[in-house]
Amino acid sequence: MKKVALITGGSRGIGLGIARELATNGFDIAVNGVREESAVGGVLEELQKTGAQVIYCQGNLASSSDRKAMIEKVSNTFGRLNVLVNNAGIAPRERRDILEATEESFDEVLSTNLKGSYFLTQLAANWMIAQKKSNADFEGCIINVSSISATVASVNRGEYCISKAGISMATQLFAVRLGEFNIPVYEVRPGVIATDMTSGVKEKYDKMIREGLCVTSRWGLPEDVGKAVASLAVGNFPYSTGQVIMVDGGLTVPRL
C-alpha cells in the first residue's frame, strides 16, 4: 500500500516541485491550493502520469473549516495520511518598511503562513497518532517548508520573516511532542528559489547571485526543495527529528 502525502500549496512553485518528487518516489498525493480545481487540472494530470493517485483539496489554510475539510477529504479518499508537507505561504501584498507596515498585512500573512500551518499540523498529528496506536508499523512524518527568512532579516517584509521564524519553533515543538510516537518533524529552509513569488524581484536577485550571494552560483529550483523533502519523506533521516535542512545554495554560510 502506497504512503499518502498531503502538500499544501502544492499546485505551483515549490509545492509542485515537492509533489512531483513525492509522486515519482511512490507516494499517492493530495494537493492543496486555493484555486478552483478546474484551474489546476493540467497539474493533477501530470502528477497522475507517474502512477500516483492524486486528489485536489481546495481550501484556504487560514480557514479552520477549510483545514478540517482537507483532512476529511484525504481520510475519505485514502483512509490514511503518512506525510504532511506544510508548504503553502504568502508574501505581503505590498512590501513595506517595518516602520510603515500595517496590522492588516501582518494578520493576513501570519494567518496563512503560521497559524494555518500550525493548526493543520495539529489535525494531522492527532490523526497520525491514532494511526500509530492502531498499527505499530505505521510510518509518518511532518515536514515544514520555511525560508532563510526565518533568520535572515528583510526589513521590508517583516511579517513574512516572523511567520517563517514561527514555523521554525513550531517544528521543534511538534518534534518534541510527537517523539514518543516516533513521528519525526523536520524543517526544510529554502533560499532564493525561482517561483511566481520571486518573479517580481528577478533582476535584483540575478545581479546579487552574479555578485556572489550564494556559494552555488545559481537560482534554486523547486525540484531542489522537492528532492530534499522526498528524502525526508521516504525515511532517510529517522534520527534527525526537529532539525533544519538548508536548501539555499550556501547563501547563509558565513564568509569573509
**Which residues does the annotation mark as catalytic?**
160
For cell 547563501, the residue is 251
Residues 6+ away with beta carbon under 8 Å from 6: 30, 32, 57, 70, 71, 74, 81, 83, 84, 85, 124
For cell 508499523, the residue is 137
How far, in Å, CA of 87 to CA of 229, rounded? Answer: 10
For cell 552560483, the residue is 217
Q: Please name which of 34, 35, 24, 27 lies closest in space to residue 5, comparing C-alpha atoms.
A: 27
The size of the chain, in residues, is 256
How far, in Å, CA of 252 to CA of 153, rounded? Answer: 12
